[in-house]
């Protein structure tokens, strides 16, 4: 199949056409972007991490009645406040947010790779607990929605509203790519959207408990993620193959070697 075809024979949209559609949607609202995207790519899912942007998109999906599957990556290491928010969102909007979990529990991972892998090899931990489960969860779909914005990190500065995700092999929809943090919070406050209470306690970016810390005044909003390391992405939104992706591709061989040894 030629490179110009987005997803084998399942869609006729070429990458050039995808870029053209993204350009047409530049002045559209996130709600309009979602509606157009699901029209073009009916088999669509949204992977939410329950950040403030994700809560906003859940609100739009539910209020607009869009047929978009919704799931989250339950690493087994989320904050209690995140699990509580999960329940609140389902209750508020009357939808089911599927929990996608890693192959191994935290205890099973520790038995094979040693305790607190996230401290010694965070890329491997992210690969096994987030990247691989996401890859498998996205397999049945032709497009997925993310809540990332251009101004969040240097790595995300070039994201487009619609783009081809070469890491996972499908279309990626970024309805909030051009929005600012101020716009997101204004929408959330105006529409009484549920959000994680940790956001009001010094946690602008929330991930797994061991790899998330409070952010001090004047620090970058993601300074609390993997503090003390250059790492600022788990590998899910990397525009090139990350070490986390490489770890997950090597997982079976490595796991087998460790158990055999």
212 is a domain residue: yes
Is-above-0.75 flag for pTM? yes
CB under 8 Å to 124, separation ≥6 — which residues?
A: 113, 117, 244, 247
170 is a domain residue: yes
Are the C-beta atoms of residues 209 and 67 closer than 8 Å to each other? Answer: no
Name the band, by pLDDT with cuts 50, 70 and 90, for residue 134. very high
pLDDT value, residue 259: 41
Domain of residue 20 covers: 6-260
How far is 140 from 156, CA to CA, in rounded Å? 25
- How many angstroms separate the first and last alpha carbons of the chain? 42
1 is a domain residue: no
94 is a domain residue: yes
Which one is predicted more confidently, 254 or 117? 117
Percent of the chain with pLDDT over 90: 68
- Is position 126 annotated as part of the catalytic site? no
- CA 179 centroid distance within chain: 17
128 is a domain residue: yes
Which one is predicted more confidently, 246 or 148? 148
pLDDT value, residue 243: 44
29 is a domain residue: yes
131 is a domain residue: yes
pLDDT value, residue 237: 61
Average pLDDT, the chain: 85
pLDDT at 181 over 60: yes
Catalytic residue among 40, 55, 126, 234: 234
Q: How many domains does the chain have?
A: 1
3-class SS at 143? strand
CATH classification at residue 155: 3.40.50.620
CA distances from 95 to 47, 59, 67 (A): 14, 11, 11
Query: Average of pLDDT values for 180-198?
Result: 97
Instruction: Please give the DSSP secondary-structure letter assigned to residue 39.
Output: H
pLDDT value, residue 199: 95
pLDDT value, residue 228: 66
Question: Per residue in 80-98, pLDDT tens?
Answer: 999 999 999 999 999 999 9
pLDDT at 1 over 80: no
> How long, in residues, is the chain?
261
How far is 148 from 169, CA to CA, in rounded Å? 18
Laid out side by side, the sheet with 98-100 consists of 98-100, 69-73, 44-47, 143-145, 170-173, 162-165
């Amino acid at each position: 199949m030629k490179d110009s075809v987005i997803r084998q024979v399942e869609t006729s949209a070429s990458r050039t056409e995808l870029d053209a559609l993204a350009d047409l949607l530049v002045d559209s609202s996130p709600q309009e972007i979602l509606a157009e995207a699901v029209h073009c790519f009916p088999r669509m899912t949204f992977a939410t991490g329950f950040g403030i942007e994700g809560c906003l998109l859940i609100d739009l999906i539910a209020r607009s009645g869009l047929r978009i599957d919704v799931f989250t990556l339950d690493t087994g290491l989320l904050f209690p406040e995140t699990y509580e928010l999960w329940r609140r969102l389902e209750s508020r909007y009357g939808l089911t947010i599927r929990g996608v979990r890693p192959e191994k529990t935290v205890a099973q991972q520790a038995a094979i790779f040693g305790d607190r892998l996230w401290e010694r090899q965070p890329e491997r931990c992210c690969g096994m607990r987030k990247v691989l489960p996401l890859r498998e969860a996205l397999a049945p779909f032709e497009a997925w929605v993310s809540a990332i914005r251009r101004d969040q990190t240097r790595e995300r500065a070039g994201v487009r509203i619609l783009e081809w995700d070469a890491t996972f092999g499908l279309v990626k929809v970024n309805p909030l790519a051009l929005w600012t943090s101020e716009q997101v919070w204004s929408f959330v406050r105006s529409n009484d959207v549920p959000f994680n209470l940790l956001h009001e306690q010094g946690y602008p970016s929330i991930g797994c408990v061991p790899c998330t810390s409070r952010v001090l005044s004047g620090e970058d909003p993601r300074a609390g993620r993997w503090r003390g390391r250059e790492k600022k992405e788990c590998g899910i939104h990397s525009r090139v193959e990350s070490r986390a992706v490489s770890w997950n591709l090597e997982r079976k061989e490595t796991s087998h070697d460790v158990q055999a040894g």
